Amino acid sequence: MLSTIHFINQQERHGEKMRFEVIDNFLTKEQWQAQHDLVFSKKFLWSYNPKINDYSTNSDNEASFNNFKSLLFQHWFHGEGKPNSYALPHMMDDNIMFTSASDNPDTKQPYWDIMCQPILDEFPIKKLLNIRTNLYTWWHETDNNSGTHRDYELGQPHLTLIYYINGSNGATWFEGQGKIEKKANRIVIADGKLAHRCIYQTDIEAQIATNINIIV
């Protein structure tokens, strides 16, 4: 890994330290280029996810209807498209079935070695929850966003990883951190308890990033 640490901040939230890091040049140039070329090729398949256009969260983290303009397309590598906390909060609890990374059958699927393994190799993973690559389409209004949410509501420590494959004028807002610019080959490593939201771009057609949830 030829990385440059952009900044590290151990945020305290309700007396508990929250991990938050932004690292540039996370993968080697060759690894990043392989991912970039793949996701912009015709062979990389996408599925439309309408949920992002149905729900957001208010200040109390309760689901509420919101008419989003940007569209979300996804390529799932691991997990079953489990409902996010902002979509169906009443379904989230501590009884989620986890899959060990070492026993994960998804490692045999196409593109795993290009898209997933280079990132996962950099973390001491105990449990792998989800891996999906997201594509957001552009929208002409600034600050249009996905709604504030947490990917999981768990009773144990976990991390949210966001790896940006390309850059744009969009951002990811994190609780207590503000807006993080979407820059190619940048990764955000955040405590899973930190709420966040995707702010859609206005300058390019497609913003692509891989989101991973892990227990380390």
User: Which CATH number does the domain housing residue 211 bear?
Assistant: 2.60.120.620
Query: Low-confidence residues of the chain, pLDDT below 70?
Result: 1-16, 51-69, 80-108, 142-144, 146
Residue 63 belongs to some domain of the structure: no
Residue 64 belongs to some domain of the structure: no
Q: Which residues form the domain of 138?
A: 4-58+69-215
Q: Structurally, how many domains does the chain consist of? A: 1
Residue 181 belongs to some domain of the structure: yes
- The model carries a pTM of 0.79
**What integer pLDDT is reported at residue 145 of this predicted model?**
72
**What integer pLDDT is reported at residue 20 of this predicted model?**
94
What distance in Å separates the CA atoms of residue 153 and residue 134, rounded to the nearest whole number?
20
